[in-house]
Amino acid sequence: MLDLKELRRDPQGLEIKLKNKVPETNLTPLVALDEKIRALKTEAEELKSKRNQASKEIGTRKQKGEDVAAFMKEVGAMGERITQLDHEITAKEQELTHQLAFLPNVPMDDVPVSPSPKDNVCVKSWGQKREFDFPFKNHVELNEKLKLFDFVRGAKTSGSGWPLYIGMGARLEWALLNYMLDTHRKNGFMQIIPPLLVRPEIMFGSAQLPKFENQLFKVKDEDYHLYLIPTSEATLNGLHSQEILEEEQLPIKYTAYSPCFRREAGAAGSQERGLIRTHQFNKVELFCFTKPEDSQRVFEEMLASAEEVLQGLGLHYRNMLLTTGDMSFAAAKTIDVEVWLPGQNRYYEVSSVSNCTDFQARRSETRYRHKKDKPQFVHTLNGSGVATSRLMVALLENNQQSDGSVLVPKVLQKYLEEEIGILKAPHA
């Protein structure tokens, strides 16, 4: 949620910044609505003051035995108008909040201004693309012999886009999750196992609602109105909603594993089969609450922790600073970490680290207090640490051998009971 005081102070300047993110942004109706609300409040306050004075006058005249019928009628009319104004103010404030909820966060000044992801800026590259001296396969083709996933039975139980990990595929996925959580705990993040269903107000706080309502899975009946989380960011952001934290508690750094659930619109293309784009995927999330002056430092710490995961796995990746038009709704600055997938002949995002400044904190009413000062909003930051489905694809495709087997990175071997160093076809 944007700061209404900032909107009042410089609506034209704010609109220019927001247009860099959403070109059709028009703040004129919002400014007019805010001015109308303030005018109504002024009228209501003046009437209440007059009513109080009139009530005192009535009391004085009654003591003198004077007729107060006209004054009583006047006070009654004031009361009716005040009630009418209060109802109108409430309705218009709700409309103002609704309109504010659809405005995105303001991009930081160092974010490239462009509507196109083609203008994202590579700020770092690590490792090199693997050169193959044999015809390499994509992960779906490799799986034909390795039997790590069963896409047919996954579709049988739930429909397309719901992956089923089997045997060594399930064990390797679990090894990845444990490796990532160990890495982030070592780097100072507290591990959380979050609920997978959350209330509407929690989704609103993380800025998933109301804008992304149609992309979410939900449970709604006479007993429950809950949403399946598209990322554990939603739950983690809500952990301290409507709280005032003490300065000494900050920064609070969480890491959490959870399945994530998203409606993926349209059918995946031929290059996005298998694990590339699914309705359910596993992810280790990083989430932090900080003081505003510390948010850039914490942003870099989160990014470094995500990169450490990929470096330990020996995977080539690049960091892309996203343009204003490619950032998420809640982000003020984002760096995507993209790994190279040979089978798709392109880079794919496996981590997205974002500084959301005080945007989510305003929606969740999460503040902190410096000594006896007035509480102020925290900054929130989130990042994937990382999403395993595409990471699994990267591991399989980049570590494949000419005979169709796959080398297992050393950092994962300790999580497999037999310290398996190579994946082979089950019958081999």
Strands 280-290, 252-261: pairing is antiparallel
Residue pair 274/155 in contact by the 8 Å Cβ criterion: no
Same domain, 182 and 331: yes
Residue 267, pLDDT above cutoff 60:
no
Mean pLDDT of 250-271: 80
Please say if 390 is a catalytic residue.
yes
Residue pair 356/327 in contact by the 8 Å Cβ criterion: no
pLDDT in the model for residue 279: 93
Same domain, 405 and 262: yes
Please say if 116 is a catalytic residue.
no
Catalytic residue among 352, 354, 364, 384, which? 352
Same domain, 133 and 94: no
| Domain CATH for 68 | 1.10.287.40
pLDDT digits (tens, 9 = 90+) for 120-137: 999 999 999 999 999 999
Residue 63: which pLDDT band, with cuts at 50, 70 and 90?
Answer: confident
The pTM assigned to this predicted structure is 0.91
Residue pair 227/198 in contact by the 8 Å Cβ criterion: yes
Same domain, 330 and 395: yes
Catalytic residue among 173, 258, 390, 397, which? 390
Assess if residue 111 is contained within a domain: no
Same domain, 224 and 301: yes
Return contacts of 6-14, CB within 8 angstroms, 24+ apart.
Answer: 7/31, 7/34, 8/34, 14/106
Residue 188 lies in domain: 117-423
Residue 265: which pLDDT band, with cuts at 50, 70 and 90?
Answer: low
Split into its structural domains, the chain has a count of 2
Same domain, 90 and 157: no
Same domain, 61 and 160: no
Same domain, 161 and 193: yes
Assess if residue 358 is contained within a domain: yes
Same domain, 193 and 237: yes
Same domain, 282 and 415: yes
Same domain, 76 and 160: no
Same domain, 232 and 87: no
Mean pLDDT of the chain: 93
pLDDT in the model for residue 69: 77
Please say if 277 is a catalytic residue.
yes
Catalytic residue among 277, 362, 363, 367, which? 277
Catalytic residue among 171, 262, 363, 367, which? 262
Pick from 77, 101, 125: which residue ends a domain? 101
pLDDT digits (tens, 9 = 90+) for 136-155: 999 999 999 999 999 999 99
Assess if residue 296 is contained within a domain: yes
Residue 266, pLDDT above cutoff 70:
no
Catalytic residue among 43, 74, 93, 349, which? 349
Most confident among 55-59, 233-237, 402-406 (mean pLDDT): 233-237
| Domain CATH for 329 | 3.30.930.10
Residue 62: which pLDDT band, with cuts at 50, 70 and 90?
Answer: confident
Most confident among 203-212, 267-276, 411-420 (mean pLDDT): 203-212
- Reading the block at residue 229, the tokens are 């989380």
Mean pLDDT of 60-66: 77
Buried b (16+ CB within 10 A) or exposed e, 222-243: eeeebbbbbbbbbbbbbbbbee
Assess if residue 27 is contained within a domain: yes
Mean pLDDT of 259-270: 69
Assess if residue 108 is contained within a domain: no
Pick from 45, 74, 101: which residue ends a domain? 101
